[in-house]
């Protein structure tokens, strides 16, 4: 359920998020050796999910994007979501997003305050 909510925040369409959850678990099932203890399972799943969501957003037509809103969530919001709602550490978020931990800290510090 946590993975589904994470994906839904990206793609904004329930059916697309459901499809992406299936794709994430299918990838893990097809290549189990790829995830051998290098990170926590949830961190690996969130990283795969993020890549799939970004890919899905890139492949939508301009018309779909116009009807459904922005193509992607701002970086700051994504980091806040991972840290506060999914309770990931700075290091885990850095791994998921693919940036150094110091960049995560800076973006968290510079994130706009107020309602999400």
Higher-confidence residue of 65 and 17: namely: 17
Task: Supply 11's token pair.
Answer: 């793609």
Average confidence (pLDDT) over 87-112: 85
Task: Examine the domain organization and report whether 41 and 89 are in the same domain.
Answer: no
| pLDDT at 116 exceeding the cut of 70 | no
Higher-confidence residue of 11 and 73: namely: 11
Task: Examine the domain organization and report whether 67 and 80 are in the same domain.
Answer: no
Mean of the per-residue pLDDT values of the chain:
79
> How many domains would you assign to the chain?
2
Task: Examine the domain organization and report whether 52 and 85 are in the same domain.
Answer: no
Neighbours of 40 (CB within 10 A): 14
Task: Examine the domain organization and report whether 58 and 30 are in the same domain.
Answer: yes
**What's the confidence (pLDDT) of residue 94?**
92
40-62 pLDDT, tens digit each: 888 889 999 999 999 888 877 54
64-74 pLDDT, tens digit each: 545 444 433 46
> Which range of residues forms the domain containing residue 83?
74-116
Query: What backbone torsions phi and psi does residue 99 show, to the nearest 5 degrees?
Result: -130, 165
Q: Name the region of 12 (left: φ>0; alpha: ψ -120 to 50; beta: rest).
A: left
Average confidence (pLDDT) over 8-26: 89
Residue in 50, 113, 55 with CA at minimum distance from that of residue 80: 113
| pLDDT at 36 exceeding the cut of 50 | yes
pLDDT band (50, 70, 90) for residue 13: confident
Task: Examine the domain organization and report whether 15 and 49 are in the same domain.
Answer: yes
Task: Examine the domain organization and report whether 101 and 51 are in the same domain.
Answer: no
**What's the confidence (pLDDT) of residue 33?**
75
Q: Which residue has the tokens 């990170």?
A: 39
Task: Supply 91's token pair.
Answer: 């290091």
Confirm if 32 and 79 have CB atoms less than 8 A apart. Answer: no
CATH number at residue 27: 1.10.1740
Task: Examine the domain organization and report whether 7 and 48 are in the same domain.
Answer: yes
């Amino acid at each position: 359920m946590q993975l589904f909510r994470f994906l839904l925040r990206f793609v904004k369409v329930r059916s697309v998020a459901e499809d992406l959850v299936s794709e994430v678990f299918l990838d893990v099932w097809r290549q189990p050796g790829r995830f051998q203890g290098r990170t926590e399972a949830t961190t690996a799943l969130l990283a795969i999910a993020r890549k799939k969501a970004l890919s899905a957003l890139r492949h939508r037509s301009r018309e779909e994007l116009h009807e459904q809103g922005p193509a992607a969530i701002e970086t700051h919001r994504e980091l806040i979501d991972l840290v506060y709602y999914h309770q990931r550490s700075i290091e885990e978020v850095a791994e998921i997003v693919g940036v150094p931990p110091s960049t995560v800290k800076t973006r968290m510090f510079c994130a706009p305050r107020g309602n999400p």
